[in-house]
Amino acid sequence: MKKVLLILITLISVCAHAQTYKISQLAGTKWILCVGDTSRVKRVWEFSNKTLKTSTSFKSINKSNNFTYNYYLSVSPTETFSSGLIGKDTKGEYIVLQKRDGIECMKIENLTDHTLKVVIEASKEAYRSGNFSTIFTLKRIR
């Protein structure tokens, strides 16, 4: 009986740890990346239900780079982009982005009304060459 109870508690704690997010939690939000000197370089992410728009502004040279990526949420990382899921009411803990040179999966570590924390895990090839995961923490501005 004690073993069954221990197994049950373990399963409940593992299931409780895995978080699933909804596309509606991201759509319409705008975030600023909390890294470095934001008075010189400002990085902003803006989500719709279909796209992630990123903007990097360099104040010293009065220039900005803007990119728009299609995305959806997935319960697991993937190596192929499913265009049919763009704009759908997807759920998961991974943001799957369609980029020019392939896809990128970002794991949502934490999402609150004020903070978004994502991890971009290096591919196996990149990991072998010394590149590891990158963690981004963003503060909500809208």
pLDDT tens, residue by residue, 62-90: 999 999 999 999 999 998 999 999 999 99
Distance CA 138, CA 41 (A): 14
Residue numbers of the domain that contains 41: 19-140
What pLDDT shows up at residue 125?
61
Return the CATH number at 84: 2.40.128.20
For residue 22, the SS3 value is: strand
Q: What is the C-alpha to C-alpha distance for residues 118 and 106, in angstroms, rounded to an integer?
A: 6
Q: Is the pLDDT of residue 11 over 70?
A: no
Q: Classify residue 65: in a domain, yes or no.
A: yes
Cβ atoms of 91 and 75 closer than 8 Å: yes
Tell me the backbone φ, ψ of residue 10, rounded to 5 degrees.
Answer: -65, -45
Assess if residue 12 is contained within a domain: no
Q: For residue 20, what are the contacts with CB-CB under 8 A and spacing of at least 6?
A: 75, 91, 92, 93
- Could you report the per-residue pLDDT of 33-48, keeping only the tens digit for each? 998 777 889 999 999 9
Q: Is 88 inside any structural domain? A: yes
Q: Is residue 13 part of a domain?
A: no
Please give the tally of structural domains in the chain: 1
d(CA 72, CA 22): 10
Q: Does residue 138 have a pLDDT over 80?
A: yes
Q: What global pTM score does this model have?
A: 0.81
Q: Is residue 11 part of a domain?
A: no
Compute, in degrees rounded to 10, the torsion defined by CA atoms 64, 69, 74, 76: -70
pLDDT at 126: 56
Assess if residue 10 is contained within a domain.
no
In a domain, 4, yes or no: no
